[in-house]
Structure 1
Amino acid sequence: MMSKAKAGIVLIVIIGALALVPVALYGTEVNVAKVNIGLNIGGTTAVSLSEFGVLQIPSFTAGMSGVQIDVESMNPYSYMIERNTARTQVDSPDSSSAALVEISIFFNLTTPSNNSITFTLTPGSQGTGEHEVTTLLGPEEGLDAGGEFHLTITITIRVTPPGFDEPVVDLNLSPVNRTFTVPTSG
């Protein structure tokens, strides 16, 4: 049987080793790109034509209000926490629940070594209104070296108004291309 002193030492060694994992994985600093995408989905509500007993199909507009990429350096502990708890956030200050809005965001990242990495985000169902989607790109998405990166973002928006079983809008927005530079570590 192990004594309490030895058990305490083993516990301290294990905790110390776990505390070093982020530094071992990413070094003392991690370069990340925070991608911020503004979306606006508007429309009218479905109107019932009572004498006919049918719903009038409402019209909706959907568009992208902007894309911004900010490159910054984080310590590895902050990166691991943000990566695992809040990688993608959606802020919808004036969102309405007048319709179910499904958003899919497709990323195609070309690295300085000309590797192409694709991934998809589905930030969940939203209502109509303005939405700001912010996501964090780091080493797992290909930002593991410095240089010039090219990012193509394609967004699909599906809108299903109340009273409808199927979407009345299934729209692919025009792709957006952005180039950004990650500093070389050194």
Structure 2
Amino acid sequence: MQETPFSLEEFELLFKEHFKPLALLAYSVVKDKDVAKDVVQEFFVKFWETQHTIQLRGPFELYAARAVKNRSLNYIARQEVQDKHQQLFAALAPDNPDNSHAHREQFYQRLSHAIDCMPEQRRRVFLMSAAGNKKYADIARELNISVNTVKFHIKAAYVFLRNEAFLPLWISVLLTVFHFFEKFSQ
């Protein structure tokens, strides 16, 4: 068990000895060399910053492997959340690429207005997740709320956005089509 923080020399030796195997472990999860290297570097930075609070209960290799694997899995989870956000925004956006700039601008103004109309806590949680790309657990910790509350706010925000930003566009399209058929049948 390490009772005192590692010296800089000891830390450098740990880094040199373990970086490559840990990067290979991270790569086996994230499937991207650059991301794997970043995950391992972030692990070592965090370890250096918090080493005085960590009590190793076994070899450093086991601790580091577990931490890097968890960080890699967290990266994958964040990517999935980010992909989900992008898909949901794409579903909200006008899907006709031939739409004029004015139509797209109108849509994004509606979207922005809808976000502004959300209750303050929901808006904050939603923006921290969608725009800030923060993990649910980080949002919960920062706002002193539960992860389930974060999930609830994000789900409610997307429902609200669909109703406030996307639905009015469809209603206007349906009214236009209805008006067209009404004129056509006369």
Is TM more than 0.5 here?
no
Between Structure 1 and Structure 2, the one with more helix by share is 2
* Structure with greater Cα Rg: 2
Between Structure 1 and Structure 2, the one with more strand by share is 1
Task: Tell me the TM-score normalized by structure 2.
Answer: 0.28
Higher RCO structure (Cα 8 Å, ≥6 apart):
1
Task: Tell me the TM-score normalized by structure 1.
Answer: 0.28
